[in-house]
Each structure stands twice: as structure tokens, then as C-alpha cells.
Amino acid sequence: MPQYAGVPSSDEYSTDTDRPRDGQAALRRIIESYAGPGADLRALRRVVDLCREVQDAIEDDYCREKIRAIAEYSAELLSQAEHRARGPLSGIDFLRQQIRGALELLQSRLYSLERGRRFGQQFAHAGFGAIHAAKR
């Protein structure tokens, strides 16, 4: 797979959420650096690749839903020269707002998954896994 600046290679990941978290951060940097107006097909290609990588790296329906939303809004933002205004917001501001919101929700979910995984490991190492299994 292509290597992007600021995104570690696959052998540098230590947890299940490292790759998605790094992909999420790279997506945020791409969206924040978009100067607009106008299409940026190179950035769009990078966003599509990153979304695919993040989606392949995480098995969580909620995360995948947010990644799809990021991909769709990013495609609209980065592929068109002009963007339709939505209410008081310009088209670019609206799309960025939607992408930022989805990125924040993705980041929060990844944090929750990581905390749950770590707590589950601590719980199992403390012997509670065996106690819980014995109660069944």
C-alpha cells in the first residue's frame, strides 16, 4: 500500500486502533490543509486511500459509518470547483464542518474501543475472566 507522510508503516503498529487513529489524524490534516476553492484530485485520491485503509483496519460498524461519511463529504469538497451554500454557511464551510464532526466522532469511538480493549485485558489479567467464566 502507498505510504503517506506522517503515517507509519504497518509494522510500526502496536494496537488494533493505532492504524485507524493515525489514518484519522492524516485525514484531518488533509482536510485542514485544503485551501479551496477548486478541485484537489491528489488530495481526494489520498483521502480515498486513507478511508479504505482505516475501514480495512477496524471492525466496528459505527467507525465504518463515520468513515463512509468522511469519504462522501470529502469527495464533494475535494472534487468540485464550486460548492453549494447550505443555509448561512458557505459550501466549503458546511462540508468541512461535516467532515470535522465525523472525524471527532471517529476519534472518540476509537478512544472508547481502545480503552475497552485495555480494560478488558487488565480485567482478564486480574483473574476476573476465569471467575466470570465459572459463573456461567
- pLDDT over 90 at 7, yes or no: no
pLDDT band at 119, cuts 50/70/90?
Answer: confident
Distances (CA, A) of 7 to 1, 74, 128: 12, 19, 37
3-state DSSP call for residue 86?
Answer: strand
Q: In the chain, which ranges are continuous DSSP H helix?
A: 18-33, 41-57, 61-79, 91-125, 128-135
Tell which wins on pLDDT, 38 or 134: 38
Q: Report the pLDDT value the prediction gives residue 37, as an integer from 0 to 100.
A: 77
pLDDT band at 121, cuts 50/70/90?
Answer: low
Mean predicted lDDT score pLDDT of the chain: 79
Q: Determine what percent of the chain is predicted with pLDDT higher than 90.
A: 42
- pLDDT, one tens digit per residue, over 77-95 is 999 877 778 888 888 889 9
